[in-house]
Amino acid sequence: MLAALSIRDIVLIDRLELALDKGLCTLTGETGAGKSILLDALGLALGARADAGLVRQGAEQGSVTAVFDIAPAHPARTLLAENDLEAEGDLILRRVQTRDGRSRAFVNDQPVSIGLLRQLGDALVEVHGQHDERGLLDASGHRAILDAFGGLEADVSKARRLWAAATEARDALAAHEAMLARAKAEQDYLTHVVAELDELQPVAGEETALAEERTLMMHSEKIAGDLAEAEEALSGDGGLDARLTVALRRLARVAEQAGGRLDGAIAALDRTLNEAAEARDQVALAMRALEFDPRRLEQAETRLFALRAAARKHNVAVDNLAELADKLRGQLAEIEGGEATLARLRKSADEAAAAYRAHAQVLSAARAKAAAKLDKEVMKELKPLKLDKATFKTQMDVLPEGQGGPDGIDRVSFLISTNPGAPLGPLIKIASGGELSRFVLALKVALASRGSAPTLIFDEVDSGVGGAVAEAVGLRLAELARMAQVVVVTHSPQVAARAQHHFRISKGGEAKAAKVATRVETLDAPARREEIARMLAGATVTDEARAAADRLIGSHP
């Protein structure tokens, strides 16, 4: 509830401190005393549009501070936590407006955006006035109001989950369709490239081996000549092998006479002859291996050219051609298997959409039942409010297939007709000022048990009525005050007599000196009696008016 309101230098209010309590609180006073200023100031603290003209003449800035005492589980605390603000204890909203047009907002002394202030204000206070187009008069919120009345919040939550699932499935299907379309557009190209690479059959490391082989064959003729000379030196007449053999035979003939002194030399020559024979064999093997073959050189060069041409064409290294072929084969396989995936995703999307639609239709039927009940409840309240010729109807328009949303397939709006036979239309367009306030009151009474903001403000809801109708208005405001704090700006003594807390707004000071100021006074029992007598009698309060005030107050203990 709104526990306190502090106003500094706003229009005619220089300094005002107001403490409020639970129940029905009424604000009364002469016309022009400043009741609307008080509501405008509160609106500023709740995030309403700022205006430099609100700053009191002669002041550089004005400010409004509203203190709220709310339950631990109130949605406003969740909103605070989501924005990293202190969420325990009293909630303090403050707005500062400067004469140069700048405006600043604070929550619990922390600077915040005007948007967040407005969100908090909407959760804390509902303002219902003749010219207020928010709350019950805003058609965009009628569906949520109907859902709250019908206790359909759980069904709406389920609809949102199903809508999210259907949307996700639809998006997955669309993404796969787009991918498949792109892949199919490249399928012929992929098939051609894979065929080329399969025919080429590239192998990692092949380029290096071919390049080395080609280099070797290009030099093989020169290498072969040198190898032939080396073989001649090793095994030809007068070659190393022949000389070593001669030396070994001669040493062997005289070895016995040398008494073992030649054994080392003989062994060394024997080893040398063996190594020379091995060298001769290796040279012969190399000569056969390096035999110049023009066809083999051409084949190596052709293969190397083909590999490098393919690498340039696909902008990859030669060693990565085999990997590229595997990758492209995988893309082709995805295309071939894509149709199966597409069918699966399409089935999932269809099933998710059907599940959403089925639940949305169940929710729509439940809303229709709740709408009929709400219409009945509101119509029951219209007669005592002198609106017995009026009609109230909750209109539901079911959206066409595919045009639903997270909250279902229904468009909901509250329509009225003030005279028999007249067409139904939106509340804000059909009802006059006084009628509009009473329609809103009838709606709030019908919806009261379903919860609302902790503070309800009614601006002249009793406008244009008196007697029994004013009494009926007061009775319904008192009923609402049992479930929420209700603040009423009223000219009706019947309404004021039912209040638990009564405040009188007055204007005083020296007009010529520009010191006129709006004041708010909390009335005790005698002062309250005098104020209600004034409301009954007018300018001159008589004993008869005081007696009538006593009767009104006494009839509403």
Contact (Cβ atoms closer than 8 angstroms) between residue 27 and residue 35: yes
* Residue of higher predicted confidence among 516 and 470: 470
Nearest Cα to Cα of residue 141 among 497, 452, 467, 369: 452
Residue 326 confidence (pLDDT) above 60: yes
Which residue, chain included where needed, has tokens 């406008």?
463
Q: Is residue 302 part of a domain?
A: yes
Across the range 52-79, mean pLDDT stands at 89
* Residue 12, helix vs strand vs coil: coil
pLDDT tens digits, 3-34: 999 999 988 888 889 899 999 999 988 877 67
Q: Is residue 40 part of a domain?
A: no
pLDDT reported for residue 162? 95
Residue 531 makes CB contacts below 8 A (sequence gap 6+) with 28, 496, 502, 504, 523
pLDDT reported for residue 327? 84
- The whole-chain average pLDDT of the chain stands at 83
Nearest Cα to Cα of residue 125 among 51, 55, 56, 64: 64
pLDDT reported for residue 195? 86
Name the band, by pLDDT with cuts 50, 70 and 90, for residue 133. very low
Q: State the sign of the Cα–Cα–Cα–Cα dihedral 351, 352, 353, 356.
A: positive
Residue 288 confidence (pLDDT) above 70: no
Which residue, chain included where needed, has tokens 């109001």?
145
Name the band, by pLDDT with cuts 50, 70 and 90, for residue 512. very low
pTM value is: 0.63
Q: Is residue 141 part of a domain?
A: no
Q: Is residue 286 part of a domain?
A: yes
- Residue 55 has what DSSP assignment? B
* Residue 336, helix vs strand vs coil: helix
Residue 513 confidence (pLDDT) above 50: no
Residue 489 confidence (pLDDT) above 50: yes
Across the range 93-109, mean pLDDT stands at 92
Across the range 162-167, mean pLDDT stands at 95
pLDDT winner (highest mean) among 172-176, 251-255, 433-437, 443-447 = 172-176
Ranking 40-44, 154-158, 208-212, 353-357 by mean pLDDT, the lowest is: 208-212
Give the amino acid at 140: S
**What's CA 174's distance to the chain center, in Å?**
21
pLDDT reported for residue 2? 93
Name the band, by pLDDT with cuts 50, 70 and 90, for residue 511. very low
pLDDT reported for residue 75? 86
pLDDT reported for residue 387? 84
CA angle 94, 99, 103 (to 5 degrees): 35
Name the band, by pLDDT with cuts 50, 70 and 90, for residue 406. very high
What strand order describes the sheet that includes 110-112? 13-19, 2-10, 61-68, 91-98, 103-107, 110-112
Q: Is residue 63 part of a domain?
A: no
CA pair distance 456, 445, nearest whole angstrom: 12
CA pair distance 94, 47, nearest whole angstrom: 9
Q: Radius of gyration of the chain from Cα atoms?
A: 49
> Phi, psi (5° rounding) for residue 336?
-65, -35
Q: Is residue 272 part of a domain?
A: yes
Long-range pairs of 185-190 with CB within 8 A, sequence gap ≥ 24: 186/331, 187/332, 187/335, 190/328, 190/331, 190/332, 190/335
Q: Is residue 400 part of a domain?
A: no
Structural domain containing residue 318: 188-332
CA pair distance 255, 249, nearest whole angstrom: 10
* Residue 452, helix vs strand vs coil: coil
The total of structural domains in the chain comes to 1
63 bridge partner residues:
8, 96
Q: Is residue 425 part of a domain?
A: no
pLDDT reported for residue 243? 77
